[in-house]
Amino acid sequence: MELNQRTRRSALWAAYGDALGFITELADESMVKRRTGTRTIDGLVPWTRRIGGKFGTDIRLPKGCYSDDTQLRLATSRSIRGNGEFDVEAFAKVELPVWSSYALGGGNATKCAAEQLCSPDSRWFSNFFQTKKSDYVKAGGNGAAMRIQPHAWCSPTHSSTWLLARDIIRNSVVTHGHPTGILGAVFHGLCLKFGMDHGRVVQADELGAVFELLSNIPKLIREDRELSVFWIPQWEDKASQRLDVGFHDSFQELRRDLDKAMVATQHYQSDIEKPYHDLLNDLGGFAKATLGSATKSAVFAWFLAVKAQKEPLNAISVAIHALGSDTDTIASMAGALIGCGASCDPPEDTMDKSYLISESDRLTKIAEGGVADSFRYPDLLYWRSPKVQLDAIGVKDGQFFVAGLGMAKPLDVVADGKAKDLSWQWFELEFGQRVLLRRRESPNQLSTESLPLFEKEGRAVTERKNAQDHSPLKNSEAKSLGTEQRLKPASVNLAADDVIKSNFDAKIIGAWLLRFANESEGGVDKAIAFAAIVAKAKNARMLRDSRKTN
């Protein structure tokens, strides 16, 4: 099978499992019947779901509608540049905050992370949120594991799994800080990478290399500059344990769960449902405390893929009818694994199938060594996340736009927003994805800074070059920092990187502060954000150094 066929079918079966499992997610038989009119799900159907929490609005979702699993998978895919580089800044600062305005589902950790990332001084590697709903260092759910498939889809055949694991770790730590959340994502990604390389599901006796890499995740994290300098000291401080200890404990739990799953694959050779339900019960797949665990979800998905590797529809059907388990995510992850070797596409089309295929083909081009187009994000030098979800949809020059994502075509209004002048409406983004947004009758005007740039060159590379060209102590403009001369706007993030590379040189810190102060618009806000980031970085460095001496 050609690589593009593997990628397409992996993506389509993942979306199909998500769309079917979304119907039965967090539901018992009576709720399934209220949603669909029937107690069993034999295929995609329109159905009713409450959007906006307990006191939200009941909305009729179209046939083939997918959940946050596929939404965030597409967000990850867009964040992969045409040269294969994962633009984690764009994912963290644009995709996640905007996603919260059109999310169909989503775990507490991912939602809390997205909200925190709206702050100008938050960074992808230091998003240590703590709320009544979720605590970053305790976030071990499958919110990262369900979205990281594009990293495997764009990975060159038989290429380094270390590079793949690095990108998955970077993606994961944006929202999840517990080792379970990171390990589950990497384990699933490595299993998917095997499927992409070999066109079949990885078997139990072939997991040795996977285990070896998983045991070395702390080493991988230490080799990442941002994670080593910023993330590790803060994590160890807030988790009150060494990184190696935390990952060792979670890794051993994953090994124990996999050992049980391996034994279960030998039971009931002609049956999947009975051993799957037994495994769910044994590993806590129905228990509130472990429901949605990233490692357990990855194990369940692998088990289904091994047991039904020639029958993806059977595996998905078993997953979505295990009511009380995390039906959509497990079905979606299993679909991704089995789809690599599937002999056919799913029997029905999910919503936005054409866009799913388009992104799959773009990732295949990257995997094959070509240079593909990159998504046109706003310039992060000026980008500000919408302050409230209603601000995500606005107008510019008479056209609807979704902040950060581009032009949007208005479709059906499906419900009133339970408040004056508010409604729920579907929009189709210019690249082919449909999103459901709560909007004002008269939307706000969007600024130019909220709109995507029209370029194909990797923005991250260009931005780094600009930062070097305009570093405050490396060009003639530095001599005028104390004057009224207005300098070209600079990036807070890249200024912080410059300071860290200088080992917190006081002259460089002062030069950047003066430079921000001389910017005519937004300079004070940038100076405050810059100072906060540098202070956090210095504190993290001191914590790390003190541990080395003790």
pLDDT digits (tens, 9 = 90+) for 232-276: 999 999 999 999 999 999 999 999 999 999 999 987 777 899 999
Least confident of 10-24, 190-204, 287-301, 410-424: 410-424
- How many whole angstroms separate alpha carbon 177 and alpha carbon 520? 38
Q: Rounded to the nearest 5°, which phi and psi values hold at 408? A: -135, 135
Separation in Å, CA 29 to CA 80, 84, 188, 277, 325: 40, 44, 30, 16, 13
Which pLDDT belongs to residue 201?
A: 97
Which pLDDT belongs to residue 489?
A: 59
Which pLDDT belongs to residue 430?
A: 96
Residue 426: name the closest of 128, 24, 51 by CA. Answer: 51
Q: What predicted TM-score, i.e. pTM, was given to this entire model? A: 0.86
- How many whole angstroms separate alpha carbon 375 and alpha carbon 20? 29
**Per-chain mean pLDDT for the chain:** 90
* 323 vs 467, more confident: 323
Q: Any residues with CB less than 8 A from the CB of 454 and at least 6 apart, and which?
A: 376
β-strand partners of 381: none
67 is in an annotated binding site: yes
Q: Note whether 71 and 360 are within 8 A (CB).
A: no
Residue 409 C-alpha from the chain's centroid: 25
DSSP string computed for 415-470: EE-SSTTEEEEEEEETTS-EEEEEEESSPPBPPGGGSPP---S-HHHHHHHHHHHT
- How many whole angstroms separate alpha carbon 397 and alpha carbon 395? 7
pLDDT band at 476 (very low <50, low <70, confident <90, very high): very low
β-strand partners of 436: 426
329 is in an annotated binding site: yes
Q: How do residues 93-141 score in pLDDT, each as one tens digit?
A: 999 999 999 999 999 999 999 999 999 888 999 999 999 999 999 999 9
Length of the chain equals 550
Which pLDDT belongs to residue 417?
A: 65
Q: Note whether 364 and 77 are within 8 A (CB).
A: no
- Count of beta carbons in the 10 Å neighbourhood of residue 374: 22
- How many whole angstroms separate alpha carbon 292 and alpha carbon 435? 25
Which pLDDT belongs to residue 521?
A: 64
* 389 vs 460, more confident: 389
DSSP code for 479: G
Structural domains in the chain, CATH included, are 3-367 (1.10.4080.10), 389-450 (no CATH), 470-549 (no CATH)
DSSP code for 95: I
What is the arithmetic mean of pLDDT over 167-171?
98
Q: Is the pLDDT of residue 464 over 90?
A: no
Q: Is the pLDDT of residue 6 over 90?
A: yes
How many percent of the chain have pLDDT more than 70? 91
- How many whole angstroms separate alpha carbon 11 and alpha carbon 58? 29
69 is in an annotated binding site: yes
278 is in an annotated binding site: no
| Type of residue found at 312 | P
